[in-house]
Amino acid sequence: MKVLGIESSCDETAAAVVCDASKPEERILSNVVNSQIQLHAKYGGVVPEFAARSHAKVIDLVINEALLNANCSLDDIDVIAATASPGLIGGLLVGTVCAKTISALTNKPYMAINHLEGHLLTCRLCNNIDFPFMALLTSGGHFFFIEVLGIGEYKILGKTLDDAAGECFDKVAKMLGFEYPGGVAIQKHAQFGEQNRFQFPIPLQRRHGCDVSFSGLKTAVKNLISSMNDLSYQDKCDISASFQKTVVSFIIKQLGKALKMSSHPPRTLVVTGGVAANSELRDALSTFSYQHSLNFYAPPLPLCTDNATMIAWAAIEHLSSGYPSSVI
């Protein structure tokens, strides 16, 4: 079975061809991503209207490249899958209308895929991980601790009460005058900083459960910057390192609570989403997993951020399991 996946929920126009081979290394036949980072960099974040226009301009080229790289044509494709939610409505419309048009013209089935489900199942695309497993899904717009019991069976244990971790990274980076995307900039400058120089508050220490909140931390960084005159480069690096350490420490603290809340004690911990590319977080999660006798998996860096392979694979998972496509 070959699936053409299309992803256009935010600022990356992506298409991929994925098959249901038994060996993970044989599944991804092509993976094409057209990034809009340069388009949005001067604004310090994604501008939805510009993103949608860019998707419309390049989506046919991206799909053609994905088919060419996979050495196949639309005749060889069995299913067309596209991200249907959540995301920026303009971008989603470009991808879904394109997918439905191809479906109608070729008489191939169309499947609507949830973007977050695509992220969650990436680990099974790359590693054949068994259910159940615990997942930390963290990106620019989302943050969840999820117990993954099976295809279509997801139990949310905790979520952000305000900002997502990725959004917080982007906003702090903008305060410090760093380039977009902020998460990459914070990690780069944190390497040269002293992570214990500034003590930022860890949120929700008296609250039960494993929900997270990042708005207060963002405000604490803003107040610190306002109280300092003419930040030096070293000041910025130290703030980056101290901020990153606080975020990672907070996530690990709440993850410990999530583990205790799981109904089926997991054997595996998975991190996915754009923030999963952060090396400090990956290292901390790896250590946590070792301490709690868990297997730990993180996607390859190109599959942490938005891509279409995860969308195509989610479609294959649904088809293989007999569950209908669920857009949640």
pLDDT tens per residue, the chain (328 residues)? 999 999 999 999 999 999 999 999 999 999 999 999 888 888 888 899 999 999 999 999 999 999 999 999 999 999 999 999 999 999 999 999 999 999 999 999 999 999 999 999 999 999 989 999 999 999 988 999 999 999 999 999 999 999 999 999 999 999 999 988 889 999 999 999 999 999 999 888 878 899 999 999 999 999 999 999 889 999 999 999 999 999 999 999 999 999 999 998 889 999 999 999 999 999 999 999 999 999 999 999 999 999 999 999 999 999 998 876 555 4
The pair phi, psi for residue 280, each rounded to 5°, is -65, -40
Contacts of 78 by beta carbon, 8 Å cutoff, 6+ apart: 1, 2, 3, 108, 109
Q: Please state which CATH class domain 131-266 belongs to.
A: alpha beta
Give the domain ranges of the chain: 2-124+303-321, 131-266
Q: What is the DSSP letter of 160?
A: B
Query: What angle (nearest 5°) sits at the alpha carbon of residue 284, between those of residues 283 and 286?
Result: 65
Q: H or E stretch including 297?
A: strand 295-297
Task: For residue 230, give the DSSP letter.
Answer: S
Strand runs (DSSP E) across 198-252, as ranges? none
Please choose, from the candidates 182, 187, 185, 147, the residue with its C-alpha nearest in 3D space to the C-alpha of residue 164. 182
Q: How confident is the model at residue 272, as a pLDDT?
A: 96
* 276: nearest Cα among 286, 267, 262: 286
This prediction's pTM: 0.93
The CA distance from 136 to 183, in Å, is 17
Asked if domains 2-124+303-321 and 131-266 share a fold, the reply is: yes
Q: Hey, what amino acid is at 245?
A: K
Q: Which fold has domain 2-124+303-321?
A: Nucleotidyltransferase; domain 5 (3.30.420)
